[in-house]
Every structure is written in C-alpha cells, then in structure tokens.
Chains A and B, each alone.
Chain A
Amino acid sequence: MIKIKNLHANVEGTEILKGINLEVNPGEIHAIMGPNGSGKSTLANVLAGHEAYEVTAGEIIFDDTNIIEMDPDERAREGLFLAFQYPIEIPGVSNAVFLKTAINEIRKHNGVEEISAKDFLALIREKAEILGMDSSLISRSVNQGFSGGEKKRNEILQLLTLNPKLAVLDETDSGLDIDALKIVSHGVNEFKNENNAVILVTHYQRLLDYIIPDFVHVLYKGKIVKSGDKNLALELEERGYDWIIKEQPQTV
C-alpha cells in the first residue's frame, strides 16, 4: 500500500528524518514508537504533506504513485488520512459543512455523485454511535470548545466517515484516560479491515493493548533502528528506550 524509501526531511533547515524505510501492506497495522524528538510526528506530517516539512530525498510510493509532490488535499483524496496529535479548532465552520465538503470532494475524485443530506445524516449517526458521540455535535464548530478527548474522538469520527485506505494516527492516545482510549481504539478497530492499513504513531505501549499491531518499529534520531512484532512494544514498556539507544553506533 505504501512504501517509504530513504526518506529525508527538514524542518526549518534542520534535518529531522534521516533515511526512513518502511513498507506497509493492506491489512497491516504498524506502530511507530520512539522517544520524544525522534521524528515520529514529523514522519506523520510529512506523509500528510504538511508544507512546513521539506522532503530533501527519498520517495513515498502510495498505491504505486510517488506522492512527494502532491498537495495534502490530493493525498487525502487518494485515500491517505492523518489523525492529528492536536486537532485544530475552526470557529465558524460546522462539523457538518466540514465533513460534507470533505466527503464530497473525495467522492467527486472517485467519480461518485455527491452524498444526499439524508444519507449524510445517517452516516454521521451510525459512525458517531460507534464512538458514543451525540450526533448533534455536527452543528457545532469543528473542535471548538471540545475537550482533548472529544477532539481525539472527532478525529476518529472523521476517519470512519471518510474511510481512507491508509490511516496515520499521530499520538491519538496522548491525553486520553483509559475509558476514552478504549472508545477511540474501538473506533480504529471498526475501521480496520483487510483492504486498508494503519500506521500508529505513539510514545506509549498502552494503546497497543487495544489496537494490536502486526509490526512495531522504533524510530530514533530520524531513522528506524529496530523493528519487531508486538512483543517489542512490551519490551520497550518494561525497559524503556535506553537499551536500544545504547545499541546504536555513537556519532559525533
């Protein structure tokens, strides 16, 4: 589904990603873990096409197309979704307008006719219910006045309604209490099937108790330094990151 090859990226002239290689196939869940500052969020943002991040080398092949030159909206229409670590508040734009516009742009791209008002409402109700959300939220402004947990849930609501091929979840677990974490995880598991894929970016192993990854990768100083299965996450939980860092060749 997606192949990341030798990806290098800068933020304000500083190299953050220093050669990432990663392949994710349909039906797989990959967890990207690592200490703070290792480049996890940068990777998520680069995948989504944030213009503050400059790709200096490498390729991102998504469904056989290199998407490096694509704008964020084009990537989204191709089926890539980023759940934000810090979802943005947009006063004055209702969730309904926001989601309906997004759904229709993606539909238009796929040659499907626009969603009817009735179908749209039914879709929102169905997906909101999975997340225990009140569908009246659609008349409220996007994320405005939402608690941290509500914002994260709203990200997953968008994931479920837009139904992309690849979901990149950037620290969706951060700031969530255990109940909210269960709800959000339930949403992601509802989304997941054999034709789509998930990349989970997380600092903590806890999320992986509820969303079981097929692969776990450790990102350190802009590179994937260790890969394994879900047991690697458990080991990290127990031992921290230091032992992996110590395994790395010292650079001056």
Chain B
Amino acid sequence: MSKEKNIKNWYLDNFNKFEEKVKADSFSSFRKEATSKFENSEFPTRKEEEWKYTNVSPILDHEFTPAPLFIDESKDLQSIEEYKIENLDVHLLVFKNGVFDKVLSNIEEVEDGIIIESLYNLSKSNPEFISKHLSKNNKTINAFNLLNNAFTYDGFVVYVPKNKVVEKPIHILNIASDSINKPLVQPRNLVVAEENSQVKIITEYIGNKNAEYFTNILTEISVDENANVTFYKLQNESTTAYHIDKTDIYQKGSSVFNHFSLSFGSKIARNDINVKLDGEQIESHLYGLYLGNEEQHIDHHTFIEHAKPNCMSNELYKGILDDKARGVFSGKILVDQIAQKTNAFQSNKSVLLSNDASVDAKPQLEIYADDVKCSHGATVGKLDEEAYFYIQSRGVSAEAARSMLIRAFIDDVVSEIKIDELREKVNHTIFEHLQRVEF
C-alpha cells in the first residue's frame, strides 16, 4: 500500500473514533460529507503547478492524531504569561492543541451583537449563525482542506455587526504542546465583519521546541461594505512542526483589508491567501515576512481577484533565508474584464544569507481589462557587502552590522504593523530568530 493510501486510512480510521468521541453535533453531517470527499481526494504533489515548489510528502510520513482525540494532559501550560503581548489590552482566546481553553482565555465584555467565541461553543449556542456563515467563501479544496473539514470541531469566530467597532484587538493564541502523541491541530476560523464595522485580529501559532505536530488551518474572512479589518498572523511554530493554512477573504465595496503573514517557525509551511475584491473602491494590503534557517521551507501563495472596477491591491513580501532554508512566493493577480481602473502592485524581495538557501518567486498576472495599472517585481540577492563594510568600519561588530542590515531590509513590512505593542513583539521575535542565525 502506498504511503499516501496508508495515511489516508489512518485518518479515516480516526474519523470513526472521532465521531464516537464527540457524539452527534451540528457539524456531524458536514464532517461526514467532507470525509467521503477526502477519501476520494489526493494530496497535492509537485506535479501540480500550484505545488511544484513544495513537497508535502514529509507530512504524510507521520500519523497525527486529530484533536480532540488527543487529550492534552500536559501541566506545563498553566501559565501563558510569556506568550501575551506586553502592555496590550486584548480579548484573549487560547487554544491548546486546537481546542478552546476557557480558563486561560479572557474575553472582555463587548457591545451587544458582537461575537467573539470559540466555534465549538458557538455551534452549541447559535448553530443558525454557523450554518449561515460557515463555508461561504471557501474555494480550491484540496485533501488538506478536506481533512480540516472532516474533523471540524473548533476554531475562533468573530462577528462584528453593522456599524460596530471592536475597540481592543483580539488575540488568538494557538499553542501546540509537546506530548507523546503527535497532535493534528485543525483550527476552523471565521471572521464576519458587516457593513461599516471595524476589527483587528492577531492570530498566533506557537509550539514547544522540538514538538512534532501538524497545524492545518482554514480561515474565512468576510469584509462587507465600508468595513475595515486587519488580520495579523504570527507563525512561530516549532521548527519540527508542519503548518498548512488556507485563508479566503471576500471583500465588498469600499472596504479595507490588511493581512500580515509573519512566518518564523515550522519545518514546512504553506500559506494560501486568496482575496476576492467584489465591489468598487476596495483596498487590499497583503504584507508578508518570512525568516527561515536550517532546513525550513516557507511557502506563500497569494491569489487576488479583481472582480470589479476601481480597486487597489498591494502586496509586499520580504524574506530572509539562511542555511538550507527555502522560500517560495507565488503571487497571482487576476483582473476580470470589467475590472477597469484596477491598481495592483506586487513586490517580493528576498535576501539569501548562505549559498545553500534558495527562493522560488513566481508572479502571475492575468489581466482581461485594458485600463489597469499592474506591476510586479521580484528580487533575490545577498546583503549589500559594501553597506556591511561601511557599518563595520564604524566599529560595529559583524553580527550587529548584519542584524542592522536585515532589520533595515524588512523595515517597510514591520513598520506597517500599526499596533505598537505588537510591532515590539514582532521585533523581539525577529531578534530571537536572528540569534539563531549563525554569523
């Protein structure tokens, strides 16, 4: 039996155990349907254009146990203080191995109508909401996405009704803890921002050092007319973990959406970020940062569909790769025939710190309108040796000089983080990451 078939059977066996364990809930039929689709699906291979730079085969070597079959007995998570964002007042949602932890979370009082809740809890208290909003903007389904669907259980839900503003940022902390079991963590996240609403969400994925686990995320974000949503994702998984994330964003007219993908961890990470601009005067900003070393593989695929006229999208992705790390950026921009006066910009820049590090950059523009401004650029290079010498010649050590240049290189992404306390945290994470880099 092939490796792929084996692992599929493993998950199908687990599905039955899972259903016994969680009993019938409002997702039962949804899961069942997904499971039969999963059974007939194939995991992506490098023969597929969209996966040609990322080999997922190592993920299929492991038998991961889906939450909540995995019962976390670890006592080392009593405190999450070290993971909090210093000096920042937030609504905090903590998920341990993909399951909501009410005790560690702290959701403060919000205005009537606003929902900040775990998917599991909301499916009990308000199943109508779930069936109305979940899986509305979910496309390009592959076996990983179906695997998530087949075990739909928990995740976070944020709902902001018309004209409401969530003042404090929402911080969602996903912690994978080390254990004898290898957890399969599958958050199923949903954000619905109605007309003229505003919200800022910080999702964070962390894991204990050397923990082997697999995070497989599906996130849907809907941004209605004139709404303003900023979504930060900090991926700081264990470097022995695997991470696959698909985020689908649907925007209506005059809305603004900002997305940050800040990737530091995991052995193999694949991020699909799909945005559909389905109204006029929309703004979408996608920022990305990837810092990889050792044998890390960090892949970002973005897909932006301009479906209506007079919108702008802007992508800025920057990477620093050392050792044998590999980065992938594939950015597709589709401008429909009616989407005149589209402005679409895309920039991807990477710096390689070693001869064995590499990057694959693939911009793809598909433009069917004739009055548009689109640009893309990809560069791969080394740190500017002359600048390096210049800084050193002022008495600054080689290590500090390199760190200064790296920070300078990524500054235009980091400086777009408008929450000061979060920017501090990101800076700190970058600092820690650079400490891992040998000079």
Which residues on A are within 8 Å of B, measured CB to CB?
Answer: 48-51, 71-73, 75-77, 81-82, 84, 87-93, 97-99, 101-102, 105-106, 109, 141, 158, 162
Contact = CB atoms under 8 A, between A and B. Distances in A.
Given A88-B384, A88-B386, A98-B391, A73 B396 contact: yes
Contacts, number: 79
Given A90-B387, A92-B411, A92-B412, A72 B393 contact: yes
A51 B411 CA distance: 27
A98 B404 contact: yes
Given A76-B393, A90-B404, A93-B405, 13 more contacts: A48-B393, A51-B389, A72-B392, A73-B393, A73-B396, A73-B397, A76-B396, A81-B393, A90-B384, A90-B405, A91-B411, A93-B391, A101-B404
Contacts of A92: 407-412
A4 B50 CA distance: 60
B113 interface: no
A62 B126 CA distance: 78
Contacts of A82: 393
Given A88-B386, A92-B409, A105 B393 contact: no
12 contacts: A48-B393, A71-B398, A72-B392, A72-B393, A73-B395, A88-B384, A89-B387, A90-B384, A90-B405, A92-B409, A93-B408, A162-B394
A82 B386 CA distance: 13
Given A76-B395, A77-B395, A105-B397, A88 B390 contact: yes
B401 interface: yes
B339 to A, nearest CB: 33
Interface string B372-402: 0000000000001011011111111110110
Interface residues of B, number: 23
In this complex, which of B392, B395, B412 has the most chain A Cβ atoms within 10 angstroms of its Cβ?
Answer: B395
A48 B396 CA distance: 13
A106 B412 contact: no
A-B pairs with lowest CB-CB distance, top 4 = A92-B408, A76-B395, A92-B411, A102-B394
A49 B395 CA distance: 12
Contacts of A89: 387
Interface of B: 384, 386-387, 389-398, 400-401, 404-405, 407-412
Given A91-B408, A98-B404, A109 B387 contact: no
A9 to B, nearest CB: 15
A131 to B, nearest CB: 17
Nearest to B403: A101
Nearest to A48: B393
A105 B408 contact: no
Nearest to B384: A88
A122 to B, nearest CB: 20
A101 B393 contact: no
Contacts of B393: 48-49, 72-73, 75-76, 81-82, 84
Contacts of B400: 101, 105
Nearest to B411: A92
Contacts of A77: 395
B195 to A, nearest CB: 38
A162 B391 CA distance: 13
Contact of A76 (B386, B394, B404, B408): B394
Given A92-B408, A93-B408, A101-B404, A87 B390 contact: yes
Nearest to A88: B390
Nearest to A97: B404
B396 A101 contact: yes
A71 B389 CA distance: 10
B395 A102 contact: yes
Given A93-B408, A101-B404, A72 B389 contact: yes
Contacts of B386: 88
Contacts of B394: 73, 76, 81, 98-99, 102, 158, 162
A72 B396 CA distance: 9
Highest count of chain B CB atoms <10 Å: which of A82, A90, A109:
A90
Contacts of A72: 389, 392-393
A201 to B, nearest CB: 15
B136 to A, nearest CB: 40
B412 to A, nearest CB: 7
A93 B404 contact: yes
A84 B392 CA distance: 13
Contact of A50 (B389, B395, B396, B398): B389
Nearest to B397: A73
A97 B411 CA distance: 13
A72 to B, nearest CB: 4
B406 to A, nearest CB: 10
B395 A90 contact: no
B398 A73 contact: yes
A92 B412 CA distance: 8
B325 to A, nearest CB: 22
A162 B392 contact: no
Contacts of B411: 91-92
B356 to A, nearest CB: 21
